[in-house]
Amino acid sequence: SGRELAHAERNFRDHGRANTSLVPFGYGDGGGGPTREMLAAASRTADLEGSPKVRVGSAESFFTQAEQGYAALPIWVGEMYLELHRGTYTSQAQTKRGNRRSEHLLREAELWCATAAVRSGGSFEYPAAELKRLWRLVLLQQFHDILPGSSIAWVHQDAERNYAAIGAGLEGLIGQAAAALLGDGPRTFLLN
């Protein structure tokens, strides 16, 4: 948008030394690429009066152009301290606990479902699509702002709901696999 372009221009730290900046964009925080609407907006703002010129291109072409237009590239010496990325712990213990539990349950579900698919004589079909869906949901919760606790509150609330759903789904798959392996009856088994 025009507002975002104006913000980017105001905050460009290399005024006077460079005349090109890179603005990565795409859909959501899950690694999605640009949408048609985003590309249309880039086209509309390509040569908007009073605004920086916009050109969609590759990172490689940007760096080639930036290197040619920047007379003396700065060199950073020493530690790169990112004051907004401190520590390796989290302020969201429930989120981190949900992640670890989900990883364990995924392993257990894959183990028991694979065993049941092989040993049940064909009565249990390996739930590949459902496991893939749950894996992807777990991986989405591992986005770089979620696990360390630097997202806003509703993101963590959403993650906790997702982890609860992941846990329920995986426990259900483990139960189905166990039933296929053990059969019906009044016996009690401990799967470990």
pLDDT surpasses 80 at 81: no
Segment 92-132, tens digit of pLDDT: 889 989 999 999 999 999 999 999 999 998 899 999 999 99
CB 156 within 8 A of CB 95: yes
pLDDT in tens, 47-72: 888 778 888 888 898 888 888 877 67
pLDDT for the residue numbered 188: 80
How does pLDDT run across 137-174, given as a tens digit for each residue?
999 998 878 888 888 888 999 999 999 999 999 999 99
pLDDT band at 133 (very low <50, low <70, confident <90, very high): very high
The C-alpha torsion from 40 through 42 and 44 to 45, rounded to 10°, is 170
pLDDT above 70 for 88: no
Phi, psi of 72 (to 5 degrees): -125, 100
pLDDT of residue 84: 62
Q: What is the pTM of this model?
A: 0.57
Residue whose entry in the numeric block shows the structure tokens 């890179």: 22
pLDDT at 73 over 90: no
Question: What residues contact residue 90 under an 8 Å CB cut-off, 6+ apart?
Answer: 96, 147, 148, 149
Q: Is the pLDDT of residue 86 over 60?
A: no
Domains along the sequence of the chain with CATH: 2-69 (no CATH), 93-182 (1.20.1270.50)
- Rounded Cα gap, residues 143 and 26, in angstroms: 15
pLDDT for 97 equals 93
Do 59 and 96 contact (CB within 8 A), yes or no? no
154-163: long-range pairs with CB below 8 Å, 24+? 156/92, 156/94, 156/95, 159/92, 159/95, 159/98, 160/94, 160/95, 160/98, 162/98, 162/137, 163/95, 163/98, 163/99, 163/101, 163/102
> Do 97 and 141 meet the contact criterion of CB atoms below 8 Å apart?
no
